[in-house]
A = this chain, B = another copy of it.
Amino acid sequence: MPMPPPQTFEIDFEPIGKRVEVASHAILLEAAQEAGIGLLSSCGGLGNCGQCRVTILEGAVSPPTGDEEFILSEVELHSGQRLACSTQIQSNVKVYIPNSSLITAQRLQLKGDSSDLPLDPVICACDIDVPAPTLHDQRSDLERIADTLAQTHQRPGAVAEPAVVRQISTVARQHNWRITAFLRDNEIIGLAPPGTRPVGMAVDLGTTKIAAYLLDLATGQELAAGGGLNPQIGYGEDVISRLAYTRRHQTGGETLADLIRRKLDTLLAELVQHAGVTREQVADVCIVGNTAMTHLLLELPVHQLTTAPYVAATGAAVDIKARAIGLTTAPGAYVHLLPCIGGFVGADHVAMILASRLDQAEHAVLGIDIGTNTEIALAKPGQAFLASASCASGPAFEGAHISDGMRAAAGAIEAVKLTETGVQLKTVDDVPAIGLCGSGIVDAVAELRRRDLLNQRGRFNRDNSRVRSGRHGLEFLLAPASQSGSSRDVVITQHDVNEIQLAKAAIRAGLEALLKATNTAPKEVKEVIIAGAFGSYLNLKSAIDIGMFPPLPEARFKQVGNAAGVGAKLALLSRAVRTRARQLAANADYIELTTFPKFNRLFALSMLFPAEASSAAEKPIAKAQGGADENNR
Interface residues of A, Cβ cutoff 8 Å to B: 133-143, 159-162, 165-166, 168-170, 173, 298-301, 303-304, 308-316, 318, 320, 324, 342-343, 590, 592, 594-595
The reply to whether B594 and A135 form a contact with Cβ atoms under 8 Å apart is: yes
Give A143 to B291 CA distance when docked, in angstroms. 15
User: How many Å lie between the Cα of A315 and that of B594 in the bound state?
Assistant: 57
- Whether the pair A314, B141 counts as a contact (CB closer than 8 A) is yes
CA gap between A168 and B170 in the complex, in Å: 40
Instruction: Specify which chain B residues have a CB less than 8 angstroms from the CB of A594 in the assembled complex.
Output: 135
Alpha-carbon distance A590/B138, docked complex (angstroms): 9
CA distance A338 to B33 in the complex (A): 48
Q: Which 9 A-B residue pairs are closest in the complex by CB-CB distance?
A: A142-B314, A140-B312, A169-B301, A140-B315, A162-B298, A135-B309, A133-B311, A165-B314, A169-B313
In the bound assembly, the distance between CA atoms of A135 and B143 in angstroms comes to: 53
Contact A169–B138 (Cβ < 8 Å):
no
Asked whether A320 and B143 contact (CB < 8 A) given A311-B138, A343-B138, the answer is no
In the complex, the answer to whether A316 meets B142 with C-beta atoms within 8 Å is: yes
Cβ–Cβ < 8 Å partners of A592 in chain B:
135-136, 138
Separation of A99 and B279 alpha carbons in the complex (Å): 51
Which of A304, A314, A590: most chain B Cβ within 10 A? A314
A162 to B319, CA, bound (A): 9
State A304–B169 Cα separation when bound (angstroms).
Answer: 8
Roughly how many angstroms separate A141 CA and B170 CA in the complex, as a whole number? Answer: 43
Hey, which chain B residues are within 8 Å of A313, CB to CB? 140-142, 165-166, 168-169
Q: How far is the CA of A160 from the CA of B165 in the complex (A)?
A: 25
Complex CA–CA separation, A81 to B324 (angstroms): 49
Closest to A167 in B: B301
Chain B residues near A312: list those with CB within 8 A: 140-141
Task: Indicate whether A299 sits within 8 Å of B136 (C-beta atoms), given known contacts A142-B315, A313-B141.
Answer: no
Chain B nearest CB, measured from A320 CB (Å): 6
Q: Which residues in B have their C-beta under 8 angstroms from that of A170?
A: 301
Please determine whether B166 and A300 come into contact, CB atoms closer than 8 angstroms: yes
Assembly CA distance A159 to B169 (angstroms): 33
11 contacts between A and B (CB under 8 A): A134-B309, A135-B592, A136-B309, A138-B342, A138-B343, A138-B592, A140-B313, A140-B314, A140-B316, A143-B316, A166-B313
How many Å lie between the Cα of A169 and that of B134 in the bound state? 53
User: Are A138 and B314 interface neighbours, CB within 8 A?
Assistant: no
Residues of B within 8 A of A308 (CB): 135
| Residue of B with least CB distance to A146 | B316
Closest to A163 in B: B324
- 10 further interface pairs, Cβ-Cβ under 8 Å (given A162-B298, A162-B299): A135-B308, A135-B594, A138-B342, A139-B311, A140-B312, A143-B314, A143-B316, A162-B324, A169-B313, A170-B301
Residues of B within 8 A of A304 (CB): 133, 141, 169, 173
Question: What chain B residues lie within 8 Å of A161 (beta carbons)?
Answer: 318, 320
Q: Which residues of B contact A133 (CB under 8 A)?
A: 304, 309, 311
CB distance from A247 to the nearest CB of B (A): 13
**Do the beta carbons of A166 and B301 come within 8 Å of each other?**
yes
Q: Is the CB of A141 within 8 A of B320?
A: no
Whether B135 contacts A169 by the Cβ 8 Å rule is no
In the bound complex, how far is the Cα of B343 from the Cα of A308, in angstroms? 58
Which residues on the B side are within 8 Å of A143 (C-beta)? Answer: 314-316
Residues of chain B within 8 A (CB-CB) of A318 are 161-162
Chain B contacts for A320, CB-based, 8 A: 161-162
Taking a contact as CB atoms closer than 8 A, the residue among B166, B173, B315, B316 that contacts A159 in the complex is B316
CA of A313 to CA of B142, assembled, Å = 6
A140: which B residues are within 8 A, CB to CB? 311-316, 343
State the CA gap A320–B311 with chains docked (Å). Answer: 31
Q: Which residue of chain B has its CB nearest to the CB of A143?
A: B315
Question: A299 CA to B133 CA in the complex, in Å?
Answer: 21
Instruction: Please give, as numbers and ranges, the residues of chain B lying within 8 Å of A159 by CB-CB distance.
Output: 316
Q: How far is the CB of A264 from chain B (nearest CB, A)?
A: 15
Decide: A138 and B299 in contact? CB cutoff 8 A.
no
Q: Give every chain B residue within 8 A of A310 (Cβ-Cβ).
A: 138
- The answer for the CA separation of A140 and B311 in the assembled complex, in Å, is 5
Give chain B residues whose Cβ lies under 8 Å from the Cβ of A309: 133-138
Q: In the bound complex, what is the Cα–Cα distance between A266 and B162 (angstroms)?
A: 23
Q: How far, in whole Å, are A631 and B303 apart by their CA atoms in the complex? A: 60
Q: Is the CB of B595 within 8 A of A169?
A: no
Partner pick for A135 among B162, B298, B299, B595, CB 8 A cutoff = B595
Contact for A165 among B136, B142, B168, B300, CB less than 8 A: B300
Measured in the bound complex, the distance between the Cα atoms of B435 and A40 in whole Å is 74
Q: A174 to chain B: closest CB distance in Å?
A: 12
How many Å lie between the Cα of A318 and that of B159 in the bound state?
A: 9
Q: How far is the CB of A541 from chain B (nearest CB, A)?
A: 36
In this complex, what residue of B is CB-closest to A168? Answer: B313
Report the bound CA distance from A310 to B140 in whole Å: 9
User: Are A300 and B162 in contact, CB atoms less than 8 angstroms apart?
Assistant: yes
Bound: A66/B165 CA distance, A: 41
Query: With the chains together, A140 CA to B294 CA distance in Å?
Result: 14
A303 to B310, alpha carbons, bound, how many Å? 53
Q: How far is the CA of A315 from the CA of B145 in the complex (A)?
A: 12
Shortest distance between the CB of A346 and any CB in chain B (Å): 12
CB distance from A603 to the nearest CB of B (A): 17
Cα distance A80–B377 in the bound complex, in angstroms:
83
Closest residue on chain B to residue A160 by CB atoms: B314
Residues of B within 8 A of A342 (CB): 138
Q: In the complex, which residue of chain B has the Cβ closest to the Cβ of A294?
A: B162
